[in-house]
Structure 1
Amino acid sequence: MSIPTVLVLPFPFQGHVNPMTTLSQKLVEHGCKVVFVNTDFNHKRVLSSMVEQQDHSLDESLMKLVSISDGLGPDDDRSNIGKLCDAMISTMPSTLEKLIEDIHLKGDNRISFIVADLNMGWALNVGCKLGIKGALFWPASAAVFGMLYNVPRLIDDGIINSDGSILTSNKTIRLSPNMPEMETTNFFWLNMADTINSTHFLNYLVHHCTPALNLTEWWLCNTAYELEPLMLTLAPKLLPIGPLLRSYDNTNPTLRSLGQFWEEDLSCMSWLDQQPHRSVTYVAFGSHTYFDQNQFNELALGLDLTNKPFLWVVRQDNKMAYPNEFQGHKGKIVGWAPQQMVLSHPAIACFISHCGWNSSTECLSNGVPFLCWPYFGDQPYNRKYICDELNVGLGLNSDENGLVSRGEIKKILDQLLSDGSIRSRSLKLKEKVTSSTTDCGQSLENFNKFVKWLKE
């Protein structure tokens, strides 16, 4: 069998780069070479956050990090998803083509295959032009894939308009008779920062990305049968290979932190070692959540009010000031944490989370109960699934001004921590989910099947 060189292209957000980095490491472990393509902007962030240890550098003969421009200027706002998608589609297909041609000209390993994030599905058209086959990778849940895949049908059935806005008066729909009900307000494109972004993003996906599903038989997804059996029955072509969790037992800190946009603060691990078993509330909202000052104050004072130890990730780009009354003496605050290591620590009691899919699968894989506080995109749907279908978490409610109060945080956290049945269900689900990626597990079998095909 030859050694394939796989070009991997993620959508340029932390929640997409993370699982595709893990996927790349697994491809390398299974005897492939990987060329990992970030945008120039994210490439710089990844390199600057990598743990600087010369004995532990990245073996570039197996995994090479390269970059191309996303089409935006250095000071442009990349959280404006509509603007980012417009810039990418007008510049990246030609720069990706040039990158591949340059690699081939240098006589390095020729690219034999492309694995593109479905949100970068246009890359398979570039591959076709150059005679390179590809696979698509969906980093979110199978249910959210189902929402996107069924957009044409939702339009035909009069449920949504062509711009993605809701037409039906029904509050809920079912994608198929045996699927759980879905709230129409939880369609992920409706939960962007604004309606212009929503329409822009949906158009980008429907016109430039999902048509690429017709160019490949390989639709890979970061989920497991044990997590979404009904949805995966409905979409038999979607192959679950998850949850994709990075291996923390390797002694190479460069590999462990690869793909992060911020450097992980490992001091939180020794702090956790000093805390009692199942006593700590872990609080982290991913790479995109921003609170205003009022909400930030309520969260800080709510954590004080619980009178329990907490580990709170407050990103380095946070501009909020801590309220004067905030004591914080029972907690530890870090800029970015090694999340899987944290969630697997015996001191963790629960996770206050934005319910991004990576955070959700990491939490489910460690049997930790959730306190759900979604922000945008697919997160409101994930919250409903975690609380109402899997029954392993509770949701926080906001008041009439949209504020989650300190009293609400304390009340629901106390309720969660005193509910033994949620903890027990979380631990049972952990066993099922982790079995999917071990010997004889369906996700591992699917991944092995894909690698075997790649090598042939």
Structure 2
Amino acid sequence: MPYQGHINPMLQLANILYSKGFNITIFHTNFNKPKTSNYPHFTFRFIIDNDPNDQRYSDLPLQGMGAFSRIIFFNRYGADQLHNQLELELSRKDEPPVSCLITDALWHVAQPVADSLSLPRLVLRTSSLFCFLTYASLPLLGDRGYLDLSENTSASLLDGLGYVDLPHNTHLEEQVVEFPTLKLKDILKMGYKKENDAIGEVIGNMVKQTKASSGIIWNSSKELEEPELETILRDIPVPSFLIPFAKHFTTSSSSLLKQDRTFFPWLDQQPPNSVVYVSYGSVAQMDKKHFLEMVHGLVDSKQSFLWVVRPGFVDGSTWLEALPDGLMGERGRIVKWAPQQEVLAHKAVGAFWTHSGWNSTFESVCEGVPMICSPFWGDQPLNARYMSDVLKVGVYLENGWKRQEIANAIRRVMVDEEIRERVKMLKQKLDVSLIKGGSSYESVESLVAYISSL
């Protein structure tokens, strides 16, 4: 799926399988296409949106929640082209035979295509097991009324930017009976509606076709989500393989944006655990009002910071036009993009203020860095709740972007030894899982054996 948070884990998985002796062919769209020169060991086929005269794919939103439109369109119109390309691959006599097809779970149309060609399809799920179980329960949550947005609990998507602003309402603080981990406002922040919702339809098809697949590969770990894994193994009768990709390969070579490295000399000079790293991923957008709250919260926290502000992150701005002159001082650095895993692994980084996308969340845990969580929509509120209330390795900014709450959360995470110790212990468990006999090691070996048997 052609977005950074989906490209990274797929190419990490491809590298893992290549290291185990498999030949890899990557199907990808021209939109957000990877830099093929970084992967001379893979074969790339660009499909679906190759026709420059095909108006169906033009002018689709690139950022915020609107970016989901492209996922909808690719599934709606891509089946025939995917079928034709797979048929061509299966007929090639000059290459090894195709063992299986592995697709991002959101390419749900790939399952009936694979079935029609008698080709085993494995699914890569780029979010958590907890998220998948919640998504699978959306029909139940809809029947119970959780997805109905009444006048008293209305959520509005602000300017289509992809985040949900909720009014203060004590009712929204109540737990979801069927998912006690979640609050009502977490369900609303997901941004799905019960009726006539194209996003909900994609999610429903994703769940259905994932269950119909030949196996599921998760970018996760048993050490992180053992209760959820037990439920998955009980309810879905296909093999599951949990692999922490960030522990095997970095994402530097799959970055769609040029990575700035000029800040590392400054970062090297900072004391251990003294810097807040801030990044809201590759798609999220924010309006100027909330951006300024972020600015003031960072300044008021009086902590050093490294802040990734993508061009176009602030709605209506090219880059930093909304930043007040002289306000940031010398305490921090702002860059357009950064090699995130390398930053999180740096000894100077003491906290990660994140949008709670799953890749960022899991990378933070893998490096033992506690989090300040500011989710936008989709799986992000679920990840934030799980990190703050279940694993207790982060602080969830539940009331949006308010400068005093931001400053307080940053200061708390930077000094809270209990949070820091918990995330450090999780990192150690993940490290141990990679050793022979560990759950992650065995999961990779089982996946290799399974594909080889197909």
> Does TM, normalized by the shorter one, top 0.5?
yes
- Cα RMSD after superposing both structures: 2.8
Query: Residue 73 of structure 2 corresponds to which residue in structure 1?
Result: 87
Query: What is the DSSP-based 3-state SS (H/G/I as helix, E as strand, rest coil) of the residue aligned with 1:296?
Result: helix
SS in 2 for 1:66: strand
- The yes-or-no answer on 1:451 pairing with 2:435 is no
Structure 2 runs not aligned, ≥5 long: 154-170
Contact 2:132 2:207 survives alignment (8 Å): no
Structure 2: distance between partners of 1:174 and 1:115: 35
Letter in 2 for 1:410: A
Match of 1:112 among 84, 99, 118: 99
Q: Secondary structure at the match of 1:22?
A: helix
Q: Which of residues 175, 178, 188 in structure 2 aligns to 1:172?
A: 175
Match of 2:13 among 8, 14, 23: 23
Look up the match of 1:191: 190
CA pair 17-314 structure 1, distance change in 2 beyond 3 A: same
Query: Could you tell me which of 128, 132, 148 is aligned with 2:119?
Result: 132
CA distance in 1, matches of 2:392, 2:108: 34
1:278 to 265, 273, 289: 273
What per-residue deviation string (whole Å, max 9, x for no partner) do you get for residues 305-362 of structure 1?
Answer: 3333211111133325211242342212111111111111101111111111111111
Q: 1: CA distance between counterparts of 2:94 and 2:255?
A: 27
Give the deviation of 1:64 after TM superposition.
Answer: 1.9
Aligned counterparts of 1:246 and 1:290: Cα–Cα separation in 2:
29
Equivalent-residue separation in structure 2 for 1:66 and 1:387 (angstroms) = 41
Structure 1: which amino acid aligns with 2:309?
V
In the other structure, the counterpart of 1:66 is 45
Name the CA distance, whole Å, in 2 between partners of 1:138 and 1:431. Answer: 24
The 3 A distance-change label for structure 1 pair 36 and 258 is farther
Q: 1:281 to 1:24 in 2, by over 3 A?
A: same
* Residue in structure 1 matched with residue 168 of structure 2 by the alignment: none
Q: Which residue pairs with 1:35 in the alignment?
A: 25
Distance in 1 (CA, whole Å) between partners of 2:387 and 2:304 is: 24
Equivalence for 2:416: 419
1:137-216 aligned at under 5 Å gives the runs 137-154=124-141, 158-160=143-145, 165=148, 171-173=174-176, 175=178, 180-187=180-187, 191-192=190-191, 199-206=197-204, 208-216=205-213
In structure 1, distance between residues paired with 2:371 and 2:299: 19
Q: Report the CA distance between 1:77 and its aligned residue.
A: 1.4
Trace 1:43-442 onto structure 2 (pairs within 5 A): 43=33, 46-47=34-35, 57-60=38-41, 63-70=42-49, 72-79=56-63, 80-81=66-67, 83-105=69-91, 107-109=93-95, 110-154=97-141, 158-160=143-145, 165=148, 171-173=174-176, 175=178, 180-187=180-187, 191-192=190-191, 199-206=197-204, 208-236=205-233, 237=236, 239-245=240-246, 247=248, 257-318=252-313, 319=317, 320-321=320-321, 322-398=323-399, 403-405=401-403, 407-442=404-439
1:302 CA drift (Å):
2.6
State the distance in 2 between where 1:300 and 1:64 align. 44
CA distance in 2 between partners of 1:65 and 1:275 (Å): 42
Whether the 8 Å contact between 2:82 and 2:113 is mirrored in structure 1 is yes
Report the alpha carbon displacement of residue 73 of structure 1 after superposing the two structures with TM.
3.1
Contact 1:225–1:240, Cα closer than 8 Å, also in 2:
no
Question: How much does 1:196 deviate?
Answer: 9.5
Distance of aligned partners of 1:39 and 1:246 in 2 relative to their CA distance in 1, 3 Å threshold? farther
Structure 1 residues 59 and 81: CA distance shift in structure 2, 3 A: closer
**Alpha-carbon distance between aligned partners in 2 of 1:12 and 1:396, rounded to the nearest angstrom:** 29
Deviates more, 1:90-99 or 1:146-155: 146-155
User: In the superposition, relative to structure 1, how do residues 96 and 258 fare at CA in structure 2: closer, same or farther (>3 Å)?
Assistant: farther
Shift of 1:444: 2.3
Tell me the amino acid that sits aligned with residue 66 of structure 1: R
* Contact 1:186–1:378, Cα closer than 8 Å, also in 2: no
Once the two structures are TM-superposed, the CA of residue 443 in structure 1 deviates from its matched residue by: 2.3
**Alignment partner of 1:258: what SS?**
helix
Give aligned pairs, total.
Answer: 415
Confirm or deny: 8 A CA contact 1:262 1:336 kept in the other structure: yes
Distance 2:196 2:258 in 1: 31
Does the 8 Å CA contact 1:221/1:239 hold for their aligned counterparts? Answer: yes
CA distance 1:424–1:90, change in 2 (3 Å): closer
Runs of 5+ unmatched residues, structure 1: 1-10, 249-254
Cα distance between partner residues in 1 of 2:270 and 2:103? 42
Provide the rounded CA distance (Å) in 2 between the counterparts of 1:428 and 1:329: 34
2:356 aligned counterpart, secondary structure: coil
Q: For 2:100 and 2:128, how far apart are their aligned partners in 1?
A: 24
Partner SS state of residue 106, structure 2: helix
Give how far 1:85 is off.
Answer: 3.7
